[in-house]
Amino acid sequence: MSTRPAPRTSAVTVDLLPAEGVAEHDVLHVTSLLGRLVDAGAALGWVSAPSVEEIADLVGCLAAGTDSGDSAAAIARTGTEITGFAYWNRYARPTFRPHVDIEKVAVAPDAQGQGAGRKLMEALIRAARHHGTEVVTLDLGGDNAAAIGLYESLGFIRTTPGLRGGGGEAIRHAAVLPRPARRPVISLELNPPPSL
């Protein structure tokens, strides 16, 4: 039996992408993370690893939408290493309730099970609430039990039982956020209808 203490791992921290974007080296790290995951078969929507230019454009678009609430992105770090990246965009079509769709949640394999995915999701949900969002949706592979468990523990419910995607069954989940307190509407009819 070893008397050595177990190696300490750095805690996962998560920051939202600022409107100014991120440094070029962070774009390179996010590109590397996504590329490794795609090459390993992760269902992230890319057939081949995305290029640095593609991720730089994506990060730029996400950063441009942060102040208006059209998008939010979160970056997880373990120590100085980027170990996760996730984002949402405001739902493009008009909806009855303010709605965002989480498009990507990517966590490095060695950071899975360490809380990075949960912290990324919590940051995105906080950002959605901050911008008055009432409905958050996401799609994921039906065989990803760990992700399904995470999302359901955060209040997401399965809303579509098995869409067929290119890689197999996909499941849509949604979370309804509490509506923000609204002021009561009081009106005064200045031109009352004529009496009968």
CB 156 within 8 A of CB 142: no
pLDDT over 90, % of the chain: 55
CB 19 within 8 A of CB 66: yes
How many other CB atoms sit within 10 Å of the CB of residue 148?
17
DSSP-based three-state secondary structure for 138:
strand
List the one residue out of 101, 95, 97, 104 whose CA is nearest residue 173: 101
Lowest mean pLDDT among 2-16, 71-85, 110-124, 130-144: 2-16
| Residue 100 backbone dihedrals phi, psi, to 5 degrees | -125, 155
Instruction: Write down the mean pLDDT value for the chain.
Output: 82
101-147 confidence digits (pLDDT tens): 999 999 999 999 999 999 999 999 999 999 988 888 888 877 788 88
User: What is the pLDDT, as a whole number, of residue 188?
Assistant: 35
CB 89 within 8 A of CB 137: no
Task: State the sign of the Cα–Cα–Cα–Cα dihedral 97, 136, 158, 182.
Answer: negative
71 vs 191: CA distance, rounded Å: 43
pTM for the structure as a whole: 0.80
Confidence bin at 174 (pLDDT 50/70/90): low
